[in-house]
Amino acid sequence: MLEKLMPKSDEFFDDFDAQCARTVEGAKLLHALLADYRDVPTRVQALKDVEHKGDEVTHAAFNRLHQQFITPFDRAQIHTLLSRIDDVLDLTNAAAARLLYYEIETSRPDATELARLLVLSTQKVQEVVAALRLIKKPEQILAGCMEIKHLETQADEVLRAGMGRLFKSGVDTLTIIKWKEIYDLIETATDKCQGVANVIEGVVLEHS
């Protein structure tokens, strides 16, 4: 049903795909940095560059949304979807920036694991967002959305356990505060991935 309602233009879907590609790239850069903690300023800058490119895609998409009369689905849903994908990359970049600003000297396994789950989440987001272009298997899309939610649950568990280990580690209070913020930023990025899944579920359920 939904594909019959789609305009011929694929521009919005191209925007979604471009956003997701940048988001996956950013998540991978963060995970690689935390897994192999060296050359921090250069690698943080690389992620910042990716985030800037993602912003350019998002701004162009918002402009298109205001100018184009026919849209693939509800304008509010498009706006929310664009915003939440953008939020994922913004939070990823913010986490990396904190590593530099706070002069973090070594990584922590729980941060690396959170970043790994974020990579998986962004890849799954990329998959289900791409499937919106031609909704022929809504059950498959909804299953992908459920996987994103499971990954977010895993990230919650890693965050809680990681904070417990952090408090027991014997590090000073200031270090705990720094890492808590970094953990929270990465975990919140996975929350935003779930937010993307929620929007997609709404689109699929309304139009399939």
- Rounded distance between C-alpha atoms, residue 151 and residue 86, angstroms: 19
Instruction: Pick the closest to residue 120 from 23, 48, 46 (CA basis).
Output: 23
> For the segment 151-185, what is each residue's pLDDT rounded down to a tens digit?
999 999 999 999 999 999 989 999 999 999 999 99
Token pair of 44 as six digits: 């943080």
Assign 5 a pLDDT band (cuts: 50, 70, 90): very low
Residue 156 burial by CB count (10 A; 0-12/13-18/19+): exposed, middle or buried?
middle
Assign 137 a pLDDT band (cuts: 50, 70, 90): confident
- Rounded distance between C-alpha atoms, residue 70 and residue 68, angstroms: 6
Percent of the chain with pLDDT over 90: 75
Q: Please spell the DSSP secondary structure of 44-79, one letter per residue.
A: HHHHHHHHHHHHHHHHHHHHHHHH-S--SS-HHHHH
pTM metric for this prediction: 0.92
Assign 8 a pLDDT band (cuts: 50, 70, 90): very low
Assign 4 a pLDDT band (cuts: 50, 70, 90): very low
Q: Please spell the DSSP secondary structure of 130-186, one letter per residue.
A: HHTTS-S-HHHHHHHHHHHHHHHHHHHHHHHHHHHHHHHS---HHHHHHHHHHHHHH
Element (H, E) at 34: helix 11-35
